[in-house]
Amino acid sequence: MALYAQSSGTHSTNSSTLVPIPGLSIIVPEGVGTSALIILNVPNPFATGDDFPGAVFGISVNGSISPVLAVFSYNEQQPPITGRIPTTLVVSVPLAQTGPQTVLGLWCGVRGSTVIIDTPATLSAILD
């Protein structure tokens, strides 16, 4: 079984802490002795700023943020062109015995950056 959510429209954040990406939320079912493979795919993000702009992407499960993160930043302090930096995060999440769990895609800017997505991003779960 696969679960899937897709964002639509243009979104941006200048948060310095991880916040939900609009539209990227799924609920994984209860399970015993199994896991879900969670995939956060952000194919065309970019960041603006004047201090090596970049972004951090992650997931949370029932409000707990995974320590596994995906990050990008530009090589120039003030890039003349902010190219697209495709970013994908893959995390295995144990299914809880106590009920369904909500998984959110998260993001934030680094060093005061504004992060923008203007094409669909996806959050998927592959279950045994």
Q: What is the pLDDT of residues 4-52, one digit of tens each?
A: 999 999 999 999 999 999 999 999 999 888 999 999 999 999 999 999 9
Q: What is the value of pTM for the model shown?
A: 0.95
CB 16, CB 109: distance < 8 Å: yes
**Quick one: pLDDT at residue 104?**
98
What is the amino acid identity at position 56? V
| Span 102-121, average pLDDT | 97
**Quick one: pLDDT at residue 1?**
65
**Quick one: pLDDT at residue 128?**
72
Domain 2-127 coded CATH 3.40.50.1010 = no
Across the chain, mean pLDDT equals 95
